[in-house]
Structure 1
Amino acid sequence: MPIVTKRIIAAAFAAGGLFAHPADAAEPAASALTVGGAIRFNYVHKSWQDDYPGGFVGLDTARLDLNYDDGTVIGSAQYRYNRFPKGQGGYWQHFLHHGWAGIRLADKSELHVGLDRNPFGLQPLASNNFYESIAFYAGLEDKYDLGVTYLSDPGPFEWQLAFYPRDGGSYGGGSNTAAASNRYSYNIVPDDDAQGYGTGQRDRERDTLVGRMAWHVGPGANYEIGVSGLTGAIDNGRGTRTRRHAVAVHAQGAVGPVKVMLEALRYRYGTAHGPTQTYAGLDPNSFVMLGAFGYPFPVASKGDIYLVNVSHDIPGRLGPLGGFRVYNDYSVLRKRSGAYKDSVQNVTGMSFSSGKWTFYADFMLGKHHPYLSPDGGGLAAASAAHDGFTRRINLQAGYYF
Structure 2
Amino acid sequence: MYYLSNCTKVLFMFLFFSLSSIIVAQDKPEVTMGGALRFNYNSSSWKGNQTERGGDFGFDVFRVNAKAAYKGLKLNAEYRFYSSGFGGGMLKQGWIQYDFKDNSQFQLGLTQVPFGITTYNSNSWFFSLNYYVGLEDDHDMGLKYSRSNDKWDLDLAFFKNAEENSFGNLSDVDDSRYAYDVGSLGDGTYRNKELNQFNAKVNYKFGKTLKSKLGASAQYGALLNLDTEDIGNRNAFAVHYEATYNKWNLKAQFTSYNYNPEAPDGESEDMIAMTAYGAPYLVASKATLYTIGLNHTFPVEWGPVSSVMVYNDFGYMNKNLDEFEDTMMNDFGFLLTAGSVYTYIDFAAGKNQPWLGNEWTNGLASGNPDAEWEMRFNINIGYYF
TM over 0.5: yes
Asked whether the equivalents of residues 41 and 60 of structure 1 are also in contact (C-alpha less than 8 Å), the reply is yes
Equivalent in the alignment of 1:80: 80
More strand by share: 2
Instruction: For residue 359 of structure 2, give the secondary structure of its aligned residue in structure 1.
Output: coil
Q: Which amino acid aligns with 1:229?
A: A
Match of 1:67 in 2: 67
Q: Does 1:382 align with 2:381?
A: no
Q: Distance in 1 between matches of 2:281 and 2:212?
A: 36
Contact 1:152 1:160 in 2 (8 A): yes
2:96 corresponds in structure 1 to 101
TM-score (norm 1): 0.84
Separation in 2 of the partners of 1:168 and 1:203? 14
**Compared with structure 1, are the counterparts of its residues 188 and 308 closer, same or farther at alpha carbon in structure 2 (3 Å cutoff)?**
same
Matches within 5 A, 1:221-300: 222-237=211-226, 238-277=228-267, 284-300=268-284
**How many angstroms does 1:320 deviate by?**
1.0
CA distance in 2 between counterparts of 1:344 and 1:204 reads 27
Say whether residues 1:185 and 2:179 are aligned partners.
yes
Do the aligned partners of residues 34 and 131 (structure 1) sit closer, same or farther apart at CA in structure 2, a change above 3 Å counting?
same
Distance 1:94 1:160, change over 3 A: same
Q: Partner of 2:3 in structure 1?
A: none
1:49 has 2:33 as partner: no
Taking only aligned residues, the RMSD between alpha carbons, in angstroms, comes to 2.3
Match of 1:281 in 2: none
5 Å matches for 1:289-328? Answer: 289-328=273-312
One-letter code aligned to 1:190: S
Answer yes or no: is the 8 Å Cα contact 2:74–2:96 preserved in 1: yes
CA contact under 8 A between 1:170 and 1:183: conserved in structure 2?
no
Aligned to 2:32: 34
Structure 1: runs of 5 or more not aligned: 11-26, 85-89, 172-177, 278-283
Partners in 2 of 1:108 and 1:71 — Cα distance? Answer: 18
TM-score, L = length of structure 2: 0.88
Partners of 1:179 and 1:294 within 8 A in 2: no
The aligned amino acid for 2:234 is: R
Match of 2:379 in 1: 395
Q: CA deviation at 1:55?
A: 1.1
Q: Is the 8 A contact 1:352 1:360 kept in 2?
A: yes
Q: Could you say which residue in structure 1 is the equivalent of 2:122?
A: 127
Where does the alignment leave 5 or more consecutive residues of structure 2 unmatched? 1-18, 167-171
Partner of 2:12: none
Hey, which bits of structure 1, 4+ residues long, moved more than 6 A? Answer: none
- Is the Cα–Cα contact under 8 Å of residues 251 and 293 in structure 2 kept in the other structure? yes
SS in 1 for 2:174: helix
How far the C-alpha of 1:70 sits from its partner, in A, is 6.2
Q: Deviation at 1:353? A: 1.4
Q: How far 1:272 moved relative to its partner?
A: 1.5
What displacement does 1:144 show?
Answer: 0.3
The question of whether the paired residues in 1 share the 8 Å contact of 2:183 and 2:191 is answered with yes
- Distance, in Å, in 1 between the alignment partners of 2:315 and 2:50 is 27
Structure 2 CA distance, aligned partners of 1:320 and 1:364?
A: 26
- Once residues 76 and 337 of structure 1 are traced to their aligned partners in structure 2, the CA distance between those partners, rounded to angstroms, is 41
Q: How many percent of aligned residue pairs carry the same amino acid?
A: 29
Q: Report deviation, 1:167.
A: 0.6
How far the C-alpha of 1:251 sits from its partner, in A, is: 0.4
Deviations 1:168-203 (A, max 9, x none): 1348xxxxxx9721111100012212xxxx5x2210
Kindly state the Cα deviation for residue 378 of structure 1 after the two structures are TM-superposed: 3.0
